[in-house]
Amino acid sequence: MNGELERLERDYRDFDASNLGFPFSTRLINPVLRIERVDTKFSASLGSNIIKSGSEVFLPCLSLSHNWLFDGARIKPLPHDCPEIVASAMSGQTPSDLTFPQVLRLLREGIDGIEVSVAAEVLEKANSRSMHVALPKAVEGLNATLYPYQERGVAWLLDALESIGGAILADEMGLGKTLQIIALLLLKEPSEESPALIVCPTTLIANWHREIHRFAPSIRLQIHRGGERTGYYRDLMRSEVVITTYDTLVNDVAMFRGVDWTYLICDEAQALKNPESKRRIAISTLSRKYAIPVTGTPVENTLLDLWSLADIAVPGIFGTKEDFSATYPDSEEGAIELGESADTIVLKRRVRDVANDLPDRTDIDLPVEMDEKLSRSYCQTRDEVISEYGRAGRLVAVGQLAIHCAHPWLRVQASNEDPWAEEAELSEDSNHALLTPKMELCAQLLKESAQNGKKVLIFATYNRCGELIRRAISESGVRFNYWNSINGATPQPDRQAIVDEFSSASGPAVLVLNPRAAGAGLNITAATVVIHYTPNWNPALEMQASARAHRRGQEDPVTVYRLFYLGTVEETMIERSQWKRELGNSAIPISTRDNNDLDKALSVEP
C-alpha cells in the first residue's frame, strides 16, 4: 500500500480522480507541524491530530512536501499551501535534523495558520531527564566514586551536549559540580589540538588545579595566569585542559581566539550575567564545540541573567537579547513561560532532594522588634532620604535603611552609585547603645555556641559589622578560641588559609564573612552554626552563603539563623527570599518584583 501512496502526487490538486484508488475526503483538516526527538536529533513532520478511540493521535504526511495524509483507508487533505508555508518558516533548515535553537524559534514565532506542537521528550525538564539517562560506560581514570545523582548529572551532560549542543550545570552548592565536570572530561575527552578551557574567578584557580590532579591525574593541564604566561596561542595547545581567570581571558582574548576549544567551562558563571561586560563579550567570541556555564544561581536579579548564560551555552537559543526581553518580560508570568524552555537546558538540583545522606539542616527565622529610639531614627532616616532624592531615590533609601538595621553606628554616604556598599564608616552615636536588640540576640546565639564548643559562620553585608559584634561579645564576657573575617579587602591568597585556620582551631570559633566575597567557592564544613546577621536583597547570595557549611563533607547537623527587624526593609527581604524558595525546584527561580518590594520596604514601619 505504501508504494501505491508514494506514486500519488504530492499535491492532491494534481490527483487523477478517475484512477485514485482510495476514498478522498473533501473536508480540510487542521494542519500541525509536529516536532519530535529521535535519539539525539530533533525532526519535524507535517500532518494533523486525528481523534482515534477517544484519544488524539498525530498522523504525518508522507513528507513536508505533501499536503495530504492517509488515515486508515482514506486520504485526508490539508490546506493546499501548507508545504510552502512550512518551507518558508523553516528557512532552509533540515527537517530531520533541527537544532534546539531552531526548535525553540519555531515554537516562539509560530507558523501562520499551522499549529506547532512538540512531543513531551523535546522539552523534557533536565531534572526529569537526568533521572532516566545512564552513563554509556564506567568513568575510567576517575579517582572517586560518583554518587548516583552525580552519575545521572554526568550522563545528562553527555546527552545535552549531543542533542542540544550545550548545557548549564546549576546544581546547588555542595553537590559536586566540579567533580561532575571532571568526569565529563574523562568520558568525552578533549585533546591537545582542541583542549578544554576552564575559566573561573581567581579564588578558584587553586581548587580546580587541586581537584583535577586529585581525581583525574591522567589529564594534562596548564594554568594560564600571571606574568609568566605565554603570549603565543599555540602554547595553549600543549595540554588537554587550560585553566585561566576571567580577567586574564579579557586581557589575552585575541590569543584565546586562536584555539578551537572542545569545551568552554565557565565556573561561577554568574560573573557573566551582564551581557555588556567585557568578560561576557570576550567569552562569547571564543570558538568552541561545547560550552557549559557552571553556577548555583543562573538567575540572580533579572531574567536577562539567564539569557546571558544560555546564549553562551547554546548560541542563539533564545534569539537576540532584544527579542528575549520582548518575549519574556521580567515578571512572574515571563519567568514561568521562559522556564518551559529553559528547564530543558538547566540542570538544577537541590541538596535536600538528592543528597539524602547529608545531615539535617534547620532554618530558623528570628524576628526582632526595634526599641523606641531605634524605631524613631529608622523612620527619620527614611523620610530624610526620600525627601532628598524623591521617588527616584527609593533604592538609595532602602540601602540606607538596611545599613541602619545592621547597626545605627554605621554610616555610608548616600549615593546613587552603590547604595549597597560593603564599606561603612563607624561612628559611635550616644543616642544608641552598642547592644541593639538584634545585636543582643546575636550575642545570645554566640554565647550558646561558645558554651557548646561550636564553630560559627556570621554573614554580614557591611564589613564593620564583624568588629561591632566582636566588641559586643567581648563586653559580655563570652570567649572564642578563634575569631577572624573574610571580606572584599582580604587578599585572595589568604582566604583559604583563614578557612583552614578556622577549621583546625580547637573549641569554639567564629568566622565573619561578607556574602559577596566569601559566599561562593569556599568549603567551610567545620561550622555547624550559620548566622545571617543582615538579610540580603538578593536571595541567591544568601542561599550560596548557607551552603558553605551544609554540603558534602559535613557530618553534623547544621542550624541556619536569619535575624531581621519586624516592620522594616529587612522583613521585606525575608519575605522576598521565602517567596523565591516557595517556587520550588525551578531552573528559573524568579528574582524580580523589585518595584513592588521597594515600595513595600518604604511603606512599612517598625
pLDDT at position 440 is 87
Distance CA 64, CA 62 (A): 7
pLDDT at position 583 is 46
Q: Cell numbers 521597594 label which residue?
A: 598
Total of domains in the chain: 3
Tell me how far CA of residue 49 lies from CA of 25, 31, 45, 99, in angstroms: 16, 8, 12, 24
Distance CA 390, CA 416 (A): 12
Of 118, 148, 174, the residue that ends a domain is 118
* Domain range enclosing 8: 2-118
Same domain, 87 and 154: no
Q: How far apart are the first and last CA of the chain?
A: 80
Q: Which of 468, 467, 461 is nearest to 400 (CA)?
A: 461
What's the distance, CA 383 to chain centroid? 37
**Tens of pLDDT along 536-595?**
877 667 777 777 777 767 778 888 898 989 888 888 888 776 655 544 445 555 444 455
**Tens of pLDDT along 378-407?**
888 888 877 776 665 667 778 888 898 999
Of 319, 354, 389, the residue that ends a domain is 354
Same domain, 114 and 197: no
DSSP of 496-558, one letter per residue? HHHHHHHHH--S-EEEEE-HHHHSSS---TT--EEEESS--SSHHHHHHHHTTTSSTT--S-E
Same domain, 346 and 461: no
**Tens of pLDDT along 413-443?**
554 444 445 667 777 777 788 888 889 889 8
Of 308, 333, 354, the residue that ends a domain is 354
Same domain, 279 and 328: yes
Phi, psi of 80 (to 5 degrees): -60, -25
Distance CA 374, CA 410 (A): 13
3-state secondary structure 194-228: CCEEEEECHHHHHHHHHHHHHHCCCCCEEEECCCC
**Tens of pLDDT along 216-244?**
999 999 999 988 898 899 999 999 999 99
Domain with residue 526: its CATH number is 3.40.50.300
Which one is predicted more confidently, 519 or 402?
402
Distance CA 118, CA 578 (A): 34
Which one is predicted more confidently, 398 or 178?
178
DSSP of 260-313, one letter per residue? -EEEEEEETGGGG--TTSHHHHHHHTS-EEEEEEE-S-S-SSSTHHHHHHHHHH
Same domain, 339 and 400: no
Domain with residue 324: its CATH number is 3.40.50.10810
Inform me whether the pLDDT recorded for 120 exceeds 90: yes
pLDDT at position 597 is 63
pLDDT at position 604 is 66
Same domain, 435 and 299: no
Residue 398 contacts by C-beta under 8 Å, 6 or more apart in sequence? 419, 537, 569, 598, 601, 602
State which amino acid sits at residue 118: V
Same domain, 541 and 396: yes
CA angle, residues 385, 386, 391, in degrees to nearest 5: 140
Same domain, 414 and 542: yes
Run of H or E residues at 71: strand 68-71
Inform me whether the pLDDT recorded for 365 exceeds 80: yes
Confidence of residue 363 (pLDDT cuts 50, 70, 90): confident
- For the chain, what is the mean pLDDT? 86
pLDDT at position 281 is 97
Global model pTM greater than 0.85: no
Contact 371, 438 (CB under 8 A): no
Same domain, 219 and 161: yes
Max mean pLDDT range (1-5, 389-393, 445-449): 445-449
Beta bridge partners of 70: 75
**Tens of pLDDT along 90-110?**
888 889 999 999 999 999 999
Inform me whether the pLDDT recorded for 464 exceeds 90: no
Same domain, 104 and 158: no
Same domain, 20 and 114: yes
Same domain, 317 and 208: yes
